[in-house]
Amino acid sequence: MKKKLTIRDVAEKAGVSISSVHIALSGKSGVSDSTRAYIRQVAETLGYQPNAYASKLKQRTKQVVILLPDEKGDNSFYYPEIWHGIHDYQTSSDANVDFTEISYGPDTEQEAFSTLRRLVENDEADGILAAGHIDKEKLTPKDWAEFAEKGVSVVFIISGNRHSPFLCCVQPDYRIIGRTMAELVLSRIPDYGSILMLAGNPKWPSHFLVANGFTEYMTENRRSNMIYYDHSWSTSPENYEAIKKELSRSDIAACCSVYSIGTALLCQALKESGKAGRVYAVGSDLSAQAIEGIRHGILNNSIQKNPYAQGYVGLRTLVDYLVDGKTPEEKCIFVGCEVVFQSNLPMYEHRRYSNLFF
């Protein structure tokens, strides 16, 4: 039996993307006239005939719900750049998709999750892009299973809900980040120097996997430095005082933070304790506080987890699947990360560089 030709066959023969073939054959804008003519010629030569019913389904406007923490309070340290990446993708894409944004804070989670359930129940969601540390008791595994039964595709960003049905997860490689952090720290302190690690919430993969990568690297390199762990993860005065108290230990030679809020607290504690510049310090991400910390020598480095790319790639992956049927090659898509120094800090202070860090 002859294999039925697909849009993927046309794309491979023409040496272009599936989305370019879809645009060229559907008459949408997005490719040059010469490219459109070339793709149509390739399709005709191959004898490709698009299925009329399938084409009709593809032309139907897809509904994507974006469920993401807002940019206020503690969320302001990390999530604005994810939103920035999401909005840049929306601006650049001409896909036939409508977006519904649901942002939430600590006091509006229940309302946000109820809105999401209602949209799915009313068949107003073909896909969901979800980010953040979503409480499994507030949006349960049963909820996600019911979304899957309704045919809703889900892409997660930095989420611990990956036990639920999902298309893929977009995130940095947290284990590698921890190993990189360990190499930076251990290359600068003696074997007897102790380390203060702001390890965040041990229940969140984006925190504990970084800490695990750190200790893994230490074990491989036969380093036995003492590590003092702090497991707070908010900006409360109590958490800050606990961090400052740990930092006052006389044997502390280095400190690090696996998350953005901890990095901001660490910068403040280093400055107020008089230990800025006296202990080697590595942070995570690039909040305003982290940028100032690097600029003034309070932090030696910070590891940028590229939240912009997480937002952009996450939404692009979901839309490509819904519109063009492009299934992600991997269940987990890793975005690249960078070590930020005082010398290269100017690159990260200008948003025009954001789309370079994929």
Classified as helix, coil or strand, 333 is strand
Q: Residue length, the chain?
A: 358
Answer whether 130's CB lies under 8 Å from 154's CB. yes
How would you write 129-145 as a 3-class SS string? EEECCCCCCCCCHHHHH
CA distance 141 to 75: 24
List the structure tokens of 188.
């600068």
Q: Are strands 338-340 and 301-304 parallel, antiparallel or unpaired?
A: antiparallel
pLDDT at 294: 97
So where are the chain's domains?
A: 7-58, 61-170+307-335, 174-304
pLDDT at 2: 52
Q: Does CATH place domain 61-170+307-335 in 3.30.70.1450?
A: no
> Which amino acid, one-letter code, is at 56?
K
CA distance 235 to 198: 12
The rounded Cα 226 to chain-centroid distance in angstroms is 31
pLDDT at 53: 43
The rounded Cα 309 to chain-centroid distance in angstroms is 7
> Which amino acid, one-letter code, is at 293?
G
Q: Does CATH place domain 7-58 in 3.90.1010.10?
A: no
Instruction: Tell me if 61-170+307-335 shares its fold with 174-304.
Output: yes
- CA-derived radius of gyration, the chain: 23
CA distance 276 to 270: 5
Answer whether 230's CB lies under 8 Å from 196's CB. yes
pLDDT at 162: 60
Provide CATH code, domain 174-304.
Answer: 3.40.50.2300
pLDDT tens for the chain, residues 1 to 358? 456 778 888 989 999 887 788 778 876 666 788 888 899 899 989 888 766 545 544 567 999 999 999 999 999 999 999 999 999 999 988 899 999 999 999 999 999 999 999 999 999 999 999 998 888 888 988 999 999 988 999 999 986 666 678 999 999 999 999 999 999 999 999 999 999 999 999 999 999 999 999 999 999 999 999 999 999 888 999 999 999 999 999 999 999 999 999 999 999 999 999 999 999 999 999 999 999 999 999 999 999 999 999 999 999 999 999 998 899 989 999 999 999 999 999 988 775 455 545 4
CA distance 231 to 181: 18
The structure's pTM equals 0.81
Q: How many CA atoms lie within 13 A of 122 on its CB side?
A: 9
What is the torsion angle, in degrees rounded to the nearest 10, for the CA atoms of residue 49, residue 51, residue 55 and residue 58?
Answer: -120
